[in-house]
Amino acid sequence: MQNVYLGIVLAPLFGAIIAGLFGRKIGRAGAHWVTIMGVAIAFLLSLVVLRHHVMQGAEPYNGTVYTWMVIEGIRLEVGFLVDSLTAVMITTVTFVSLMVHIYTIGYMHDDDGYQRFFCYIALFTFAMLMLVMSNNFLQLFFGWEGVGLVSYLLIGFWFKRESAIFASLKAFLVNRVGDFGFLLGIAAVLMAFNSIDYADVFAAAPLMADMTIQIIPGVDWSLMTVICILLFIGAMGKSAQVPLHVWLPDSMEGPTPISALIHAATMVTAGIFMVARMSPLFELSPTALSFVLVIGSITALFMGFLGIIQNDIKRVIAYSTLSQLGYMTVALGVSAYSVAIFHLMTHAFFKALLFLGAGSVIIAMHHEQDIRKMGGLWKYMPITWFTFLLGTLALVGTPGFAGFYSKDSILEAVHFSHVPGAGFAYLAVMLGVFVTSFYSFRLYFIVFHGKERMDHHTQEHLHETPAVVTVPLMLLAIPSVVIGALTIEPMLFGDMFARSIFVLPEYNVLEHLKEHFHGAISFALHGLTGLPFILVLAGLGSSYYLYMVRPDLPGQIQQRLSVLYDIMNRKYLFDEFYQSFFMRGSRSLGTALWKYADAGVIDGLLVNGTARLVGWVASVTRCLQTGYLYTYAFAMIIGLLILLTWFVTR
Amino acid sequence: MNFVAPDFMPVLPELLVLTMACLVLVIDVFLEQRQRHITYGLAQLTLVGAALLTLVTYAQAPVTTMFGHYIKDAMGDLLKLFIYLATAVVFLYSRDYLKQRDLFKGEYYVLGLFGVLGMMIMVSAHSLLSVYLGLELLSLSLYALVVTDRDSPVASEAAMKYFVLGSLASGMLLYGISMIYGATGSVDLQVVADAVAVQGKDNLVLVFGLVFLVVGLSFKLGAVPFHMWLPDVYQGAPTSVTLYIGSAPKLAAFALVMRILVEGLGALQDDWHQMLIILSALSIALGNLAALMQSNIKRMLAYSTISHVGFLLLGILSGTPEGYAAAMFYTIVYVLMAVGAFGVIIMLSRAGFEAENIDDFKGLNDRSPWLAFLMMMIMMSMAGVPFLVGFYAKWVVLQAIINVGLVWLALLGVLFSVIGAFYYLRVIKCMYFDKPEQSGEPITLSMDTEIAISANGLLVVVLGLYPTALMDVVRSGLLN
């Protein structure tokens, strides 16, 4: 199997290298063929792995491929840990990636950076696969930074746009903050366990549960809590949790396929995956779990609110992504790791679908993204309309759709949990269901129904997008509808993740869920009468009323609640705070350091001063070398005499 | 008193080189100028033959012969192999240069072979007498080699200075030897070592002898303040001779220091330890500083040699087996780099044009990108840029002296290496960023030269990535 695993990571890398270095030679078609083939091979091999580990229940594979170096007993290696958790992740990643690759042919059709784009997304796939297949923290960090780098490159893909450069820098810097915590976390693991191999660390973790360390002298902190919170800070950066979420909405400056692949379906879920992978550590720290739970529920609710007032089609979905990532984090916080992974998977499909659908709309609208200039699109682009509707239904959690199963499981899991903060979290995620439903249907109604508000020219040219765009939509629509019903039982209640995820008995909320679970169909039927579905319907109804029946009302509400609207429109002032405090602060610090420390002390005194001194000494020594024989002989005699007196007078 | 014939087996390589040198001398007389390549071929053949003999009889355990004046051990054999190799490459690089200057004569090869013989005797010396014998044989060959271009006033001046100062140094060395003999009653290094261990450093005559010996050795190595001949000779001699002086003799000088100071006078380590600290610190500082101001690249490399000698001494003065191994590694690597650097200089020279100034390297990248690349690798390695072999060589040496607690000396070495990086990098800057002063045509090299210089430059990179390969060889040589 090791060759299969290697093939999975190397095939996209090969495609990326060919498309990146020889893009000009192989041309546009060559670039998309080679990368698509690479990702397709990875996908097919992932299916093999999925069958091997999930269907046939093979033992987890944990092996080293290459030892980079050994430093004082710490082995730095490239290795794979492949179990059912990994298998689910790689299948999801490669499938969505493949869809996005195909879709890109249509979306980027007229772009000059065609080959570069394919190189980047294939490279991203490689880095993401390295991340999820890693068996040690170093490789995890490699993949982590790799996806971060490609994300940066792709947000700033249109590097001539001022806003794109700003957004890419912002994403990079905010992720630095998270990565700082993450690196400290890895360092803490290394310090405590003297190993960066998952297997060693997880095996030793229970023995460390009661250890404490003193970071501030005199204050004892639980080692596990420190490690877990530091690692989670990394996850907060990558998975855009409050307060490190600010980069994700801006990342929509990148091309839409990227928003679908990186900033919705895969990369942003890396943090979720990481926490699930680290479950043997997180389980040992109730404090860290509570922290995770509270951060997740704040993100889930408050980022959903912001989705309501956005007018950019991609930004609405971006805030929806933030909110859904919050849901996954909540699931992690209540130790329902498998539910988080379950939601991660279903979300990957329907959110990619929604983004690609939005991209399809954007193509048809000639790159117009403002939903106020759309409307009534359903009759012009039926496939996009229908798949988008399916995606919306899945997102809001309509019983029977994929999103329903995962979201309802999260709600139930929080309900049964007794972790501190669970009460607040339950309230937040329940209210979040209404909010989700409201902004999702608002978007749907404004874009696809109601009055046609686009200009005449655009309206004349409106038509359905080409097959390379619609086929991925249809292929993604299928799992968005059915994947939940098909996989809920093995993923949540079977023993699929028994060897990958570790849950302490006292936190095991899934046991409670299992008692009430009688098959996927009855779960859905039961959902029809549940509170969440009522909230969904309430969201649907109120958005229908506000945006279809009385389109004048939202404007009036906005005026009445202008203060609230203003705060939300400025995204709770996070950006302002960061810019005025951190950005301006670090810039003035930098300026001061540059002027006084660098230009004054280092350049003036140290660099130029030393150079002057060295030059002076050198010219003096040059004078000593007179060229006369007697000087040379004299120098030798003097040297001899000095050495002699040294030893005689000693 | 019966005369017992000594065992000639261990000295077979020396006998071969001696015989062949005489043979080449005779044959060369009967050759026309256009047949001179026969001389060249014979000289190379001699080196190959000696290498084969040395390999076949490679010492498993030390053997002394010639009434205790000669020792054959693994360190000696290993160094000899490197001497043959370096000399063969030197002969190869300088062939075309000599032809272009009408210097392609038998003398160069005869003297070169005698020099090799001298080095071999130095490397295998087991008594102060054979030390002196080998040293003089090498020195006399070098004096004559410097002045092969006898119409050149610069070369004559350089040879004269070298000869006079060399005689002075030889005198001091001999004086030191006589004192040691007076104190111990023997010239055999083993007997000397035993006697010194008994007498210790209380004997002032011994210490005086030691000082004179160290001065003599320092002159040969070119350590400050006994270095002043070095820049003048490097600059004045034809580049082919500079190439010769700058390479293999350093290996022999290292062996000499090992034989006399470590094997012979090891018991006086406390004393020579202090002397070498002074010498090496001065060499590193002055060599690097003076090199900064040079515009002649041969002179610059001469000063750079002085600073490298300082580093070499660092390894020896640590007085530990790791230190000796580090010093030997450093010497071998230095010879590799010096041969490459002077090799590139020699290849840039044409008939009637000496590539001597750093300015002559301007725009080399346009004329010959491959040579420029090789030179860049060699310069960076000399500067000690990581992942090139020069970095590793410096690193092991510094590690050795840090292990004996001389952190300040290590810091001094690092500091001056940083200053030294300037003049190496200046060559790179000239090659890549400056426009040539006169438009030079592309450089054409003969096939064998090109292969050799490529291998030479690439070895700097490869050994930088796998330094342990060479280090293991060096350690095995020093073990027995």
Give the tens place of pLDDT for each residue, A411-463.
989 998 888 888 999 999 999 999 999 999 999 999 998 888 888 888 888 88
Q: Which of A53-67, B45-59, B70-84, B145-159 has the lowest mean pLDDT?
A: A53-67
Residue A425: per-residue pLDDT: 92
- A618: contact with B, CB 8 A cutoff: yes
pLDDT digits (tens, 9 = 90+) for B200-210: 767 888 888 88
pLDDT digits (tens, 9 = 90+) for B396-421: 999 999 989 889 999 999 989 988 88
Question: pLDDT class for B275, splitting at 50, 70, 90?
Answer: confident
Q: Which two tokens stand for residue A470?
A: 């619609």
Nearest CA in chain A to B163: A629
For residues A268 and A238, the answer to whether their CB atoms sit within 8 Å is yes
- A597: contact with B, CB 8 A cutoff: no
Nearest CA in chain B to A649: B204
Contacts of B271 in chain A (CB under 8 A): 647
CA B379, B385, B388, B392 torsion-angle sign: positive
Secondary structure letter of residue A455 according to DSSP: -
pLDDT > 90? residue A508: no
Kindly report the nearest CA distance between residue A459 and chain B, in angstroms.
58
Q: Which two tokens stand for residue A638?
A: 């003097």
CB atoms within 10 A of CB B83: 28
Query: A618 and B169: CB-CB below 8 Å?
Result: no
Nearest CA in chain B to A622: B290
Q: Which residue has the tokens 């060096």?
A: B474
Q: Which residue has the tokens 């010093």?
A: B327
Mean pLDDT of B441-449: 82
Which of A643, A645, A648 to probe the B interface (max B CBs under 10 A)?
A: A643
pLDDT > 70? residue A342: yes
Query: B168 and A636: CB-CB below 8 Å?
Result: yes
Residue A547: per-residue pLDDT: 87
The pair phi, psi for residue B225, each rounded to 5°, is -95, 25
Beta bridge partners of B63: B72
SS3 A312: strand
pLDDT > 90? residue A365: no
Q: Which of A179-193, A566-580, B108-122, B389-403 has the lowest mean pLDDT?
A: A566-580
pLDDT > 60? residue B480: no
pLDDT > 90? residue A526: no
pLDDT > 60? residue A102: yes
pLDDT > 80? residue A116: yes
Q: Which of A178-187, A619-628, B300-309 has the lowest mean pLDDT?
A: A619-628
Mean pLDDT of A184-208: 89
pTM higher than 0.80 for the full model?
Answer: no
Mean pLDDT of B293-311: 91
Mean pLDDT of B186-198: 89
Mean pLDDT of A239-249: 88
The Cα–Cα gap between B360 and B366 comes to 13
Question: pLDDT class for B440, splitting at 50, 70, 90?
Answer: low
**Average pLDDT for chain B:** 89
Note the ipTM here.
Answer: 0.83
pLDDT > 90? residue A484: no
pLDDT digits (tens, 9 = 90+) for A79-101: 999 998 999 999 999 999 999 99
Query: B212 and A640: CB-CB below 8 Å?
Result: yes
- A629: contact with B, CB 8 A cutoff: yes
Task: Look at residues B457, B469, B453 and name the one whose alpha carbon lies nearest to residue B379.
Answer: B457
The Cα–Cα gap between B435 and A566 comes to 62
Contacts of B221 in chain A (CB under 8 A): none
pLDDT > 70? residue A650: no
Mean pLDDT of A360-368: 88
pLDDT > 90? residue A210: no
Residue B201: per-residue pLDDT: 67
Of A622, A635, A639, the CB nearest to B290: A622
Residue B113: per-residue pLDDT: 94
Q: Which two tokens stand for residue A73?
A: 């007993």
- A613: contact with B, CB 8 A cutoff: no
Of B164, B211, B293, the CB nearest to A618: B293
Mean pLDDT of B202-219: 88
- A498: contact with B, CB 8 A cutoff: no
The Cα–Cα gap between B420 and B397 comes to 17
Kindly report the nearest CA distance between residue A647 and chain B, in angstroms.
8
Residue A182: per-residue pLDDT: 93
Nearest CA in chain B to A647: B207
Question: pLDDT class for A20, splitting at 50, 70, 90?
Answer: confident
Q: Which helix (H) or strand (E) holds A205?
A: helix A198-208
- A609: contact with B, CB 8 A cutoff: no
Which of B173, B234, B292, B300 to probe the A interface (max A CBs under 10 A)?
A: B292
Q: How far is CA A568 from the centre of its chain?
A: 24
Kindly report the nearest CA distance between residue A599 and chain B, in angstroms.
21
Beta bridge partners of A136: A197
Long-range CB contacts (< 8 A, 24+ apart) of A184-191?
A184/A230, A185/A227, A185/A228, A185/A229, A185/A230, A185/A231, A185/A232, A185/A233, A185/A234, A186/A137, A186/A138, A186/A141, A186/A231, A188/A223, A188/A226, A188/A227, A188/A230, A189/A137, A189/A227, A190/A74, A190/A137
pLDDT > 90? residue A509: no
Question: pLDDT class for A63, splitting at 50, 70, 90?
Answer: confident
SS3 A61: strand
pLDDT digits (tens, 9 = 90+) for A582-593: 888 888 888 888
Residue B268: per-residue pLDDT: 84
CA distances from A211 to A223, A285, A292, A300, A518 (A): 6, 11, 21, 33, 42
Of A638, A639, A647, the CB nearest to B207: A647
Residue A566: per-residue pLDDT: 83
Nearest CA in chain A to B222: A636
Question: pLDDT class for B89, splitting at 50, 70, 90?
Answer: very high
pLDDT > 70? residue A488: yes
pLDDT > 80? residue A56: yes
CB atoms within 10 A of CB A199: 14
pLDDT > 90? residue B37: no
DSSP β-ladder status, A74-82 and A212-214:
unpaired
For residues A274 and A333, the answer to whether their CB atoms sit within 8 Å is no
- Rg value, chain A, Cα: 29
Residue B476: per-residue pLDDT: 86
Amino acid of residue B296: N
Query: B271 and A614: CB-CB below 8 Å?
Result: no
Contacts of B208 in chain A (CB under 8 A): 644, 647
Q: Which residue has the higher pLDDT, A505 or B23?
A: B23
Please state whether A73 falls in left (phi above 0), alpha (psi between -120 and 50) or beta. left
Cis peptide before A382 (omega within 30 of 0): no
Question: pLDDT class for B1, splitting at 50, 70, 90?
Answer: low
